[in-house]
Amino acid sequence: MLFTRPIKNEIKLPGKQEEVVDWKYTTCGYCSTGCSIEVGVNKKGEGIKARGVGDADVNQGKLCLKGIFEHELFTSAGRGTVPLMRDKIFEDYKETTWDAAFDKTAAEIERIQQQYGRDSFAIVSTGQILTEEFYTLGKLARGVIGTNNYDGNTTLCMASAVSGYKRSFGSDGPPGCYDDFSHTDCLMAFGSNLPEQHPVIYWRLKQALEKKKFPLIVVDPRVTMFAQFADMHLPITPGTDVVLLNSLAHVILDEGLEDRAYMEAHTSNIEAFEKLVEKYNPVMAAKQCGIDEDTIRNVARLYAKADAAMSIWTMGINQSTHGSDGVVGINSLNLITGNIGKKGGTSLSITGQCNAMGTREWSSCSGLPGYRALEKEQDREDIAKFWGIDPEFFPKKRGLFQTDIFPAIETGQIKGLWIIATNPMTSMPNTARIRKTFENLEFCVVQDSYRDVETTEYAHVYFPAGLWAEKEGCMTNTERRVNFISNVLPPHAESKPDLWIFNQMAKRFANGNKIEFPESASAVFDEMRELSKGRFLDISGMSHEKIEKNRGLQWPMKEEAEQGSARLYEDGVFNYPDKRAKLIPLDFIDNNEVPDEKYPFWLNSGRVVEHFHTRTRTGKIGNLNKFSPTPYMEMNSDAAAELGITHMSYVRLASRRGDAVVLVQLTQRVPRNMVFIPFHFHECVNRLSLGLLDPHSRQPAFKQCAVRIEMVSKQEAAAITNKSNRAF
Amino acid sequence: MFEVRKDEPGYAFIPDVETAEKNQWGTNIATVAEDDAARGKSLNINGDQGISENPNRYKQHGFHFTADNCIGCHACEAACSEKNDLPAHLSFRSVGYIEGGSYPAYQRLNISMACNHCDDPVCLKGCPTRAYSKYAEYGAVLQDPDTCFGCGYCTWVCPYNAPQLDLSKGEVSKCNMCVDRLEVGLKPACAAACLGGALDFGVIETKPENREQAKVQIPGFPDPAITNPNIRFQQTRSLPREMTRTDSQPLRYQRDEQGQGEYKSKPVIKPKHKNGNKEWNFSKLSSRENPLVIFTLISQAVVGAFSILYLAPLLGITELSSASNPKTVLSLLVFMFTIQVVGLAMSTLHLGKPHRFYRAFNNLKYSPVGREVASLAVFFSLFSVYVVLESGLLSFLPATVVSTASNIVGLLALVMGPIFIYAMHKIYRIKARPFWNHWQVLTTFFGNTLALGALLVAVAFSLSLALQAESFGPVISLLAPILFIGLLIEGYGLYQHKKDLEKSGGEGAAAQLVQESTFGKTYQARNMALISAIILVGILSITAIDGYIGVFAWLALSAFIIATAVIGRALFYVLVIPTTMPGAFFWKNAGFQDHARESGLADMQQVGVLPKTDYHHELMARAKNDIAEEINKIKQEGFIKGISSRLVKRIVTIKQGL
């Protein structure tokens, strides 16, 4: 039965497809999946469309919703247009020139360093800018400004993974790759909500599962979609992953399921490890981690007996007081089962930010470029020589982590701060404390693509930076794939690439004129390539052209190599002096703020698929933001019924740090004694969070603290509070 | 033709697999015969004259959705909105969910839904302007916003919420199956973008690789019998027996008591408070359909009053004839004409593009809206002529000619009136809106026709007679029974409606639940008022109170009856719960949209909620602009030529729709 109109009008299909005159290659600037994107450019040179690159190994043409709308970033609201300056934070900003802004900043840095010492000026960077920019910033921070209090916001997301990798394998570097999904026989995910956090990696996993089914085990206190799709969901008690991991190892060793040959050939410290896990029999462990003993045994057997088994994890592990330990525990599980460096057998940290890996590799935050350490004399000398400065200029030990820099500001050891592409006003735990901290600064400069990033509230100078494909350079993804961002559009208004900003700043210091600061990203890349030759992190076989042509290349890639390397440690040689990986015994100490009578609920936080970080980008794009335009809290409907709290009403949450007003979404996705709030929103979850620091990685435990929930009788007032807390 | 990239991934192409002959409803999957003249023509997409060589071009295509796999990542929606360049407040595809169970045995079922390009496209049939077509190519149901006049009727009849009425633009648009992509063998953007292995696309009844089911139903999806939609499902995971919605629709989905069979929609059981959750919520009675409240009531009153006035002398009731009360009758007729014009204006301005009102006659064969407007047009024309004939303006003509003409025209209008009211009621008999789809619409509309008509006549005569210090008791006693019967019919219908809704379950019962809770006090008050009115009419007519006290009593009663009718009609519009797809917590959640408007969140464009429901200013500006443009065109073509060509086109279009 057809109803076609006899007079056939032209079919008008909306869309800008036909306006595209050129597609430009780039890589997504949100998460660490590393999807290749093509931006469609129209006659006027505007970026009007985005699509996944069809033959890119990572995403094979797919994109998540953020990537699909990434071209809208070019015209998104709230961008910085010109540098801004003011003397006091209570004054209004005045527009200024780049030169004036640089002069003032350089003068303030020199003044503070002279007055209070070199380390009294701190730099907090990001995982968002390009690798060449990271390398240049590192050169500026370590070689020119010479502060040892220089770190990235990766401390909030990946520090535990870095620390755990270093402790287990002697070096950072995720050993596996996405292709491992196609070879594994068992996958265990810890605190990773892959379908929501990394939908394209999930798609790769799903593709592999469609071809060959293998057991999927998800450890998560919340019934995420991933947990729901798992063959086994382990709803663990928050913060007790180490107990579960020890107990899994206990069962494996107890039942003789370990790969003894691999352990003896490639690991050290076996005895101490065995002695410790001996204590964690499943009967005892079950009481602590909330997973029954049968399940623990079942999972241990399944994992150990699989020909190849792999683990992935994200913030559920990392953002914990036992984050680093959790990573070590996962690594150990894979070491004792011989699942490192083989197809389908790996310990793969699913990274957060698009270039978290780039900052780990090249920014010198935790040391010197190319996985070099300040603690190693040879490394200091090599870099000093390469840059042409005195090695004594470098400190001999790494300085403060990001999460220790802020307390040092609070107590007055640090007086000046340069913030680059991060938003601690929203992202750091305990917002009230962070506000107080910022008030203590004598000078603060914020460098960001967005003028309305909340941290500008406390800045004296604002540098407007170009974003994403307004610049050129590389980023490294979760599977060590270095990919290329081409310069699709010039930076917005008078904003400038971060590389240019760093170079201009360098010129204003004595060392900056001694050291060469190349202007082009490819020249910077050449320096990095040179520095990587023959090392673990070898990128000497790469160039911008080769990277683009191959849609990304995985390091290590030696100079003469045709392709990168899919996996690390295939030869079983690790980066400890004895070439062995270390099995580290981890005793569990329960130091979390756990729910009690006064604060009876666990507060858990996490990402949602439509947002990234503190919404400075995604909060501006309607077709993303509309899926969660305002903060909300998942709360168990039974618990709510007891308190008389109803669906879609505002409640007040209180913790030992502060309070927050949030809209309630009732669901059985969370247990009776837990609430979940997305972390993206300003003046919301971090008004409550404690963020106890991991002793190794200094990463805050965002996901474990206790809150109280109170009904709000004046709903309209609560709605006003909620709305007025954020400008977008 | 749409660009196919050199590196286009394999999953983006529709596999050319063997297809069935007939679909699950027994309809041919081939849309036209092998030798049909419709074949081999260009779709003329954005002026592109190319003709596709897709081998399955003349087969019905559809979506396949593996509900087991949907992760709710919104990639399909985003790909759709990006391709179609949609503003945040619109979407052709939406992902909502239902959930059930208790922690940790909890399950969420995400459902991604767009247009299902149905075998029986109720949107197409309902559309008065014939903006919809079902094409031989792929069986795609496409809508042309350039033809649409923004009545939004398609959004009422579609069970899946596929057509999207953009209030700010005053027009509807919807999923176009990405026919440009299909022409080159590519799946629609949404299906190609899916990251969960959930959404796929192909010739209907073909199962994608690794899929075993092609069911026509999953929990949360409306009864497929309404439209025979072209979507198939796989859903093999067992779900908790009861699934609930997170959006504000008070619906849940439950299997029968043995836990067998399909999930059926049922009303949400609210925990009872002391007052039984009964509230007034008077302000919530006001909706975008307010003009229709007024229009329907006025029209019913006019039809009723006219019928009484016309029939009275024929039945020998001289008290109501113009012979005995010429001034009263004439004033009443003029008054009726005036309010009918007001009603017409209100219903026309309710359109997104009122200046395109003339397109209402494009689809008379199928569209209940078209037929209502047509019957209204005929009735109103006849009635207007009747008024003129009765007015004495034509006194220069022979009196017999005038009175004969008046009798004939009046008789025709008398026949046309009830037809118009019947046609009006047909608009609301929508399967996707169970609260409306009940015979009480007919009893209420005719009940109101009698009651309000009688009331109108009664008020006019009693006022006039009282002013002349004459007794109006006899007139009242003639009209009161009509009023009484009208109210009784309405009351009986409402009573049966309630009973049937409660029995029916689903969206109808849910609406009734809202009627008895959110509007519980209002509902009770209306019911009490209706019963009291019936009793009072009885008492007043029996006691036949006359004089000023009588006038006062009748006026008070009239106000009472009118208020009851207005509240009843407003309830009728605000209560309806469509059998639509579940929304999410924010997106496609009417409850959040209301909150966003009230709290001012909607003022931020990126919240994706239009800040207002009323865009009259924009509407008038648009109308002015369009009319000016059209006049310009006519001027350029030459006045006579311009007008006549448009008239011809109009007649051709109307004929095509018959």
What pLDDT, in 10s, does the model give residues B557-591? 888 899 999 999 999 999 999 998 999 999 999 99
- pLDDT for B197-206, tens place per residue? 999 999 999 9
Among A4, A226, A627, beta carbon nearest to B133: A4
**Bond before A631 cis per omega within 30 degrees:** no
Mean pLDDT on B275-297:
90
Question: CB distance B195–A202 less than 8 Å?
Answer: yes
Cβ atoms of residues B106 and A228 within 8 Å: yes
Nearest Cα to A356, choosing from A131, A540, A63, A176? Answer: A131
Question: CB distance B45–A13 less than 8 Å?
Answer: yes
- pLDDT for B500-513, tens place per residue? 999 988 999 999 99
Q: Which of residues 269-298 of B touch A (CB under 8 A)?
A: 271
Distance from B189 to chain A by nearest Cα, in Å?
A: 11
Is A6 part of any domain? no
In this structure, the answer to whether residues A197 and A336 fall within a common structural domain is yes
Question: CB distance B38–A2 less than 8 Å?
Answer: yes
CA dihedral B71, B76, B81, B82 (to 10 degrees): 110
Question: CB distance A669–B8 less than 8 Å?
Answer: no
- pLDDT for A62-99, tens place per residue? 999 999 999 999 999 999 999 999 999 999 999 999 99
Look at B467 and A376; give whichever has higher pLDDT. A376
Quick one: pLDDT band at residue B72, thresholds 50, 70, 90?
Answer: very high
Ramachandran region, residue B605 (left: φ > 0; alpha: ψ -120 to 50; beta: rest): alpha
User: What percent of chain B lies above the pLDDT cut of 90?
Assistant: 81
Helices and strands per DSSP (H, E), number in chain B: 17, 12
Cβ atoms of residues A320 and A336 within 8 Å: no
Q: Is B584 on the interface with A (CB under 8 A)?
A: yes
Is A11 part of any domain? no
pLDDT at A194: 96
pLDDT at A5: 59
Mean pLDDT on B53-65:
96
In this structure, the answer to whether residues B161 and B255 fall within a common structural domain is yes
In this structure, the answer to whether residues A229 and A182 fall within a common structural domain is yes
pLDDT at B657: 86
In this structure, the answer to whether residues B176 and B308 fall within a common structural domain is no
Location of structure tokens 């002279």: A114
Full residue range of the structural domain in which residue B446 is found: 282-575
The whole-angstrom separation of Cα A99 and Cα A101 is 5
Closest alpha carbon within chain B to A12: B46
Quick one: pLDDT band at residue A386, thresholds 50, 70, 90?
Answer: very high
Is B23 part of any domain? no
Q: Which helix (H) or strand (E) holds A632?
A: strand A632-636
In this structure, the answer to whether residues A54 and A137 fall within a common structural domain is no
Q: Burial code of B359-371, b = ≥16 C-beta within 10 A, e = fewer?
A: bbbbbbebbbbbb
Residue B457 scores a pLDDT above 80: yes
We report the CATH number of the domain holding residue A36 as: 2.20.25.90
Nearest Cα to B203, choosing from B458, B78, B29? Answer: B29
In this structure, the answer to whether residues B317 and B343 fall within a common structural domain is yes
In this structure, the answer to whether residues A114 and A228 fall within a common structural domain is no
Mean pLDDT on A145-151:
97
We report the CATH number of the domain holding residue B569 as: 1.20.1630.10
Ramachandran region, residue B47 (left: φ > 0; alpha: ψ -120 to 50; beta: rest): left
Is B3 part of any domain? no
Q: Is A394 on the interface with B (CB under 8 A)?
A: no
Closest alpha carbon within chain A to B649: A7
Is B522 part of any domain? yes
pLDDT at A702: 95
Residue A358 neighbours by CB under 8 Å, 6+ apart: A127, A130, A131, A134, A474, A475, A476
CA of residue B42 relative to chain centroid, distance: 33
Last residue of a domain, one of A53, A75, A97: A75
In this structure, the answer to whether residues B549 and B519 fall within a common structural domain is yes
SS3 assignment, position A52: strand
In this structure, the answer to whether residues A696 and A717 fall within a common structural domain is yes
Full residue range of the structural domain in which residue A49 is found: 17-75
Question: CB distance A622–B43 less than 8 Å?
Answer: no
pLDDT at B472: 80
The whole-angstrom separation of Cα A378 and Cα B292 is 84
Quick one: pLDDT band at residue A1, thresholds 50, 70, 90?
Answer: low
Q: Which residues of A touch B604 (CB under 8 A)?
A: 629, 728
Q: What is the mean pLDDT of chain A?
A: 96
Q: Which of residues 44-73 of B touch A (CB under 8 A)?
A: 44-47, 69, 71-73
Q: What is the mean pLDDT of chain B?
A: 93
**What is the residue-wise DSSP string for A639-708?**
HHHHHT--TT-EEEEE-SS-EEEEEEEEESSS-TTEEEEETTSTTSGGGT---PBPTTT--B-TT-EEEE
Tally A–B CB contacts below 8 A. 247
pLDDT at B556: 85
Q: Is A642 on the interface with B (CB under 8 A)?
A: no
Look at B650 and A120; give whichever has higher pLDDT. A120
In this structure, the answer to whether residues B551 and B593 fall within a common structural domain is no
The total number of structural domains that make up chain A: 4
In this structure, the answer to whether residues B62 and B114 fall within a common structural domain is yes
In this structure, the answer to whether residues B605 and B626 fall within a common structural domain is no
In this structure, the answer to whether residues A191 and A128 fall within a common structural domain is no
Question: CB distance B74–A638 less than 8 Å?
Answer: no
Mean pLDDT on A165-190:
97
CB atoms within 10 A of CB A404: 18
A358 token code pair? 């780039």
In this structure, the answer to whether residues B261 and B303 fall within a common structural domain is no
Question: CB distance B8–A54 less than 8 Å?
Answer: yes
Is A579 part of any domain? no
Quick one: pLDDT band at residue B6, thresholds 50, 70, 90?
Answer: very high
Q: Is B645 on the interface with A (CB under 8 A)?
A: no
pLDDT at A2: 61
The total number of structural domains that make up chain B: 4
Residue A50 scores a pLDDT above 70: yes
Q: Is B396 on the interface with A (CB under 8 A)?
A: no
Is B38 part of any domain? no
> Dihedrals φ, ψ of A614, to 5°?
-100, 30
Distance from A332 to chain B by nearest Cα, in Å?
A: 28
Mean pLDDT on B151-162:
96
Q: Is A665 on the interface with B (CB under 8 A)?
A: yes
Is A573 part of any domain? no
Q: Which residues of A touch B173 (CB under 8 A)?
A: 14
Last residue of a domain, one of A321, A349, A377: A349
pLDDT at A631: 97
Closest alpha carbon within chain B to A633: B585
Q: Is A83 on the interface with B (CB under 8 A)?
A: no
pLDDT at B273: 57
Quick one: pLDDT band at residue A481, thresholds 50, 70, 90?
Answer: very high
The whole-angstrom separation of Cα A115 and Cα A92 is 27
Location of structure tokens 């022979």: B398
Mean pLDDT on A703-726:
95
Last residue of a domain, one of A315, A349, A383: A349
Mean pLDDT on B96-118:
97
The whole-angstrom separation of Cα A435 and Cα A420 is 18
> Dihedrals φ, ψ of A725, to 5°?
-75, -10
In this structure, the answer to whether residues A153 and A302 fall within a common structural domain is no
Q: Which one-letter DSSP state was computed for residue B269?
A: P
User: What percent of chain A lies above the pLDDT cut of 90?
Assistant: 98
The whole-angstrom separation of Cα B225 and Cα B211 is 24
Question: CB distance B102–A668 less than 8 Å?
Answer: yes
In this structure, the answer to whether residues A194 and A98 fall within a common structural domain is no
Quick one: pLDDT band at residue A102, thresholds 50, 70, 90?
Answer: very high
pLDDT at B465: 85
In this structure, the answer to whether residues B536 and B411 fall within a common structural domain is yes
Residue A7 scores a pLDDT above 60: no
Question: CB distance A54–B7 less than 8 Å?
Answer: yes
In this structure, the answer to whether residues A471 and A520 fall within a common structural domain is yes
In this structure, the answer to whether residues B470 and B591 fall within a common structural domain is no
Is A53 part of any domain? yes
Is A1 part of any domain? no
The whole-angstrom separation of Cα A193 and Cα A189 is 8
Question: CB distance A196–B195 less than 8 Å?
Answer: no
Mean pLDDT on B623-639:
93
Is B1 part of any domain? no
CA of residue B217 relative to chain centroid, distance: 24
pLDDT at A6: 56
Q: Is B134 on the interface with A (CB under 8 A)?
A: yes
CA dihedral A522, A528, A529, A534 (to 10 degrees): 180
CB atoms within 10 A of CB A203: 25
User: What ipTM describes this predicted complex?
Assistant: 0.96
We report the CATH number of the domain holding residue A628 as: 2.40.40.20
Laid out side by side, the sheet with B264-267 consists of B105-113, B94-102, B242-245, B251-254, B264-267
Is B181 part of any domain? yes
In this structure, the answer to whether residues A145 and A110 fall within a common structural domain is yes
Residue B259 scores a pLDDT above 70: no
Cβ atoms of residues B281 and B522 within 8 Å: yes
Bridge partners, residue B600, by sequence: none
pLDDT at A211: 96
In this structure, the answer to whether residues A433 and A473 fall within a common structural domain is yes
Number of C-alpha atoms within 13 angstroms, CB side, residue A399? 27
Mean pLDDT on A467-472:
96
A479 token code pair? 């599977």
Ramachandran region, residue A130 (left: φ > 0; alpha: ψ -120 to 50; beta: rest): beta
Cβ atoms of residues B236 and B212 within 8 Å: yes
Is A23 part of any domain? yes
Mean pLDDT on A470-485:
97
In this structure, the answer to whether residues A522 and A376 fall within a common structural domain is yes
In this structure, the answer to whether residues B501 and B597 fall within a common structural domain is no
Is A577 part of any domain? no
Cβ atoms of residues A134 and A668 within 8 Å: no
Among B12, B119, B136, beta carbon nearest to A4: B136
Q: Which helix (H) or strand (E) holds A483?
A: strand A481-485
Mean pLDDT on A405-430:
97
Q: Is A69 on the interface with B (CB under 8 A)?
A: yes
Residue A518 scores a pLDDT above 60: yes
Inter-CA distances, A228 with A156, A604, B107, B423, B438, Å: 27, 18, 7, 50, 41
Is B29 part of any domain? no
Residue B275 scores a pLDDT above 60: no
Quick one: pLDDT band at residue B268, thresholds 50, 70, 90?
Answer: confident
